[in-house]
Structure 1
Amino acid sequence: MKRAAFLICVVFAPHMFCAAPQERSVSPSRQFIVFGADAVLRGAVSDAAERTKANLLALLRQRDNWTVPIVLNLQPQQANLPELAAAELRFSQTGFGLKLQLDVTFSQDLDVSLVERELLRAILLEMIYRKRPQLAAGTAFIEPPDWLIDGTLALAPGHDRGQLVEALTATENTPTLEKFLQQRPAILDSAGRVLYRAYSLALVQMLLEPKDGAARLAQYIGRLSDASNDPLTDLKAQFPLLRSDAEETWQSSLHQLRNFQAYQLLTFAESERRLGELLQVKASEANRPPKLTSVAELAKRKPSANEKMALNNLSHELLVFVVQANPVLRPIAREYGEIAALLARGKRRGIVKRLSRLETTHKQLASRMSDIDDYMNWFEATQMKNGSGNFTDYLKAIDQSQPSISKRRDPLTVYVDALEDQLEN
């Protein structure tokens, strides 16, 4: 496991108490305190931090139980310090407990993906050391593994995984799981970096696949502070699916990811059908057969423990579905996922009204898309010179259903027909 020793220091300067207070913004969850820049930029960074955390919690199916705040310090690019890193995470132990600070240097060519990556690293560090606030000075802190960061980001909504799948499909020699876990992405070239992200995606997906995969991954993160120098052994200790034949499981996961068809976007109709299937929550009670229940019904009453578990599963499935769904339907599916996650945590305040508004918007969108689809079909069938071929059989059937007009076979008619053919040719 990669270990990083962070410099621990506390500097007290008398002039600090006289300086004017720096403007700041606090995120909705109050975990992120953003200093510097203007209110617009602070709000954008706060929103990015909250979104990154929400995606991680949805993936792990966990509540937001943060204990250590994260300071985000925004500073402009300085001409005399061009080598200043775009995003630098500082993790230290102070007299008041742990301190997490992410310094973001903003400029016109700021790499947003790098900031997002460091935000996730900070959030994971807080989760790792959440239960160990009192650490001795000089302690060597363990960072979250790079594969966990890259795999989590690749699974987040809005991230294009097509490039990763293509890179994985194009390569023939894949590393063993043990060798992959030892790789250092910082020293890889750009092509190797893309491949590393693809392998990371495959690994995180593999770990999340079992029913208890999300819970086990959350436990794995919480125990990283006690990790050994053998990452594969640590994974086997936490994930039973790796204990029998880790390499076979790993190669099977890579094979599944190479199936590019799974990452093709669904049409709107296919997305609608799939979303309708997902929103039928299947929960089983003791000594009773499984029962299908709608999300709207569960929003009106207190869900049982099994129903909460089913809602948790629904939230995760919707998170995966958003990637494949038609882009028009993605905001709808994403909000359904947020509602399912809230209901799973027992938070029902305002959910019925929110769900009602969402269902109204969903119906209006479906109606509008149906009208657009009808118009496009009409336009293609009647106005376009070169059709797609979708209506060929239909038009042929119409032609065949119409009675053919019998032609006269007298000499004059035959002559006129022959003359007409010559003139046309």
Structure 2
Amino acid sequence: VLRRRDQWVTAAVINLQPRAANLPEIPAAALRFSQTGSGLKLQLDLTISGEMNLGAMERELLRVILLEMIYRNQTAIPSGEAYVEAPDWLVEGLLALTPNRDCLLLVNALAVSERITPLDEFLRERPELLDSAGRLFYRAYSFALVQLVVESADGRARLGSYIDNLAFASNDLLADLQAAFPLLAGNDLGKIWESMIASMKRSARTDLLTFSQTDEKLDQLLQTKFSPADGRDKSLSLEGLCQKKPTPMQRMALRKFTQEFMLLAAHANPILRSIIQDYQQLVAQLALGKNRAVGARLTELKTLRARLSDRMTEIDDYLNWFEATQLSTRSGLFEGFLNTSSAASPSAAHRKDAFSAYLDAMEEQF
């Protein structure tokens, strides 16, 4: 993204370790940054298990790379001093802009929401406190912000300089951005930001599905099966899964399932979009391990979909009947009446005054 040569100075140690059954509290990823007698030390401890989140691992690796860039020229750091990490929006945005990355899900996430979050409000958000849908929106806005600064005048060089100087950053993320990127320093910041988000929304809403197409894709999505907890029983449907508390593996699958609903909602017919968003919220609730009243709500949504489908079928039938009964040519059944009516209408009386006679004479001559 930065298009500059690697000038790696501090080596980074990647320590892979299996998850110990007697130490379940060990985090999946832990970054260690310290000052040693030989210089700075970067170490990333990754715990290998069946529940590994590859996306989270990728983020931690990028954090290590960015941390090395931030302190590449800051070798005289006192021992025990707290270090400054790259902001979350930068990590998520750079990941989204890496080559061969499919950003369609992020662009569609922006298209789902009608409200545009102001830049200063977005920068204050903490992604670790957001649910799966909120994190997806955060990643989408991060992608938009990094793309905005990269596409600005001398953007890549300015972004590299911004990263190099993060060790001296303040607590005001917006002020630091405005100091690094003149595009964001003017009075038109709000308009520039809204224009960027709006353009990405328009690119996502080029093709909206019809009602029947949306309903068919929603049916296919709701037929998704989930692996059982013990691996021996039959696969579970969404309705079956909400009867029990989901396992960690099922919760991970549900988080991915939530993104499928958001992707469909971006191109869905407006009549069904709110229903798809309701499904997405219920799945996100299950992904958090909360299954209270989810089954009843799924039944309500199923009933509502059936009523909407019946109503749309009636509308289609009426439109088809109306189109089929229209005549391509005039029948002529009322031509006689129209002619009689026209002939029966009295004509205006011809005036005989001197001025009218003069105008009539002029009309005959010219």
In 2 relative to 1, CA 213–263 (structure 1 residues): closer, same or farther, beyond 3 Å?
Answer: farther
Q: Letter of the aligned partner of 1:257 in structure 2?
A: M
Helix, strand or coil at the partner of 1:132: coil
In 2 relative to 1, CA 77–169 (structure 1 residues): closer, same or farther, beyond 3 Å?
Answer: same
- Select 2:175's aligned residue among 233, 236, 245: 233
Q: CA deviation at 1:261?
A: 5.1
Q: CA deviation at 1:87?
A: 1.4
**Counterpart residue number, 1:135:** 77
1:91-130 maps to which residues of 2 (within 5 A)?
91-130=33-72
Q: CA deviation at 1:252?
A: 1.3
CA-to-aligned-CA distance 1:9-61 (integer Å, 9 cap, x gap): xxxxxxxxxxxxxxxxxxxxxxxxxxxxxxxxxxxxxxxxxxxxxxxxxx001
CA-to-aligned-CA distance 1:309-360 (integer Å, 9 cap, x gap): xxxxxxxxxxxxxxxxxxxxxxxxxxxxxxxxxxxxxxxxxxxxxxxxxxxx
**Counterpart residue number, 2:194:** 251
- Select 2:121's aligned residue among 179, 201, 224: 179
How many residue pairs are counted as aligned between the two chains?
Answer: 206
Q: Letter of the aligned partner of 1:248 in structure 2?
A: K
Would you say 1:70 and 2:70 are equivalent positions? no
In 2 relative to 1, CA 262–99 (structure 1 residues): closer, same or farther, beyond 3 Å?
Answer: farther
Helix, strand or coil at the partner of 2:142: helix
**Counterpart residue number, 2:203:** 260
Contact 1:98 1:134 in 2 (8 A): no
Q: CA deviation at 1:160?
A: 2.4
Q: CA deviation at 1:179?
A: 1.0
**Counterpart residue number, 1:199:** 141
- Select 1:214's aligned residue among 132, 143, 156: 156
Q: In structure 2, what is the Cα distance between the partners aligned to 1:262 and 1:169?
A: 7
- Select 1:81's aligned residue among 19, 23, 31: 23
In 2 relative to 1, CA 263–107 (structure 1 residues): closer, same or farther, beyond 3 Å?
Answer: farther
List structure 1 runs of 4+ shifted beyond 6 angstroms. Answer: none
Q: CA deviation at 1:211?
A: 4.2
Q: CA deviation at 1:263?
A: 10
In 2 relative to 1, CA 94–262 (structure 1 residues): closer, same or farther, beyond 3 Å?
Answer: farther
Helix, strand or coil at the partner of 2:7: coil
Helix, strand or coil at the partner of 2:56: helix
In 2 relative to 1, CA 215–262 (structure 1 residues): closer, same or farther, beyond 3 Å?
Answer: farther
Contact 2:29 2:57 in 1 (8 A): yes
Helix, strand or coil at the partner of 2:74: coil
1:280-319 maps to which residues of 2 (within 5 A)?
none
Contact 2:96 2:143 in 1 (8 A): yes
Q: Letter of the aligned partner of 1:123 in structure 2?
A: I
Contact 1:162 1:263 in 2 (8 A): no
Q: In structure 1, what is the Cα distance between the partners aligned to 2:199 and 2:36?
A: 46
Q: Letter of the aligned partner of 1:166 in structure 2?
A: N
- Select 1:160's aligned residue among 92, 95, 102: 102
Q: CA deviation at 1:97?
A: 1.4
Contact 2:70 2:167 in 1 (8 A): yes
Q: Letter of the aligned partner of 1:249 in structure 2?
A: I
Q: CA deviation at 1:262?
A: 9.7
Q: Letter of the aligned partner of 2:159 in structure 1?
A: L
CA-to-aligned-CA distance 1:397-425 (integer Å, 9 cap, x gap): xxxxxxxxxxxxxxxxxxxxxxxxxxxxx
Aligned CA-pair RMSD:
1.7
Q: Letter of the aligned partner of 1:172 in structure 2?
A: E
Q: CA deviation at 1:85?
A: 1.4
Q: Letter of the aligned partner of 1:188 in structure 2?
A: L
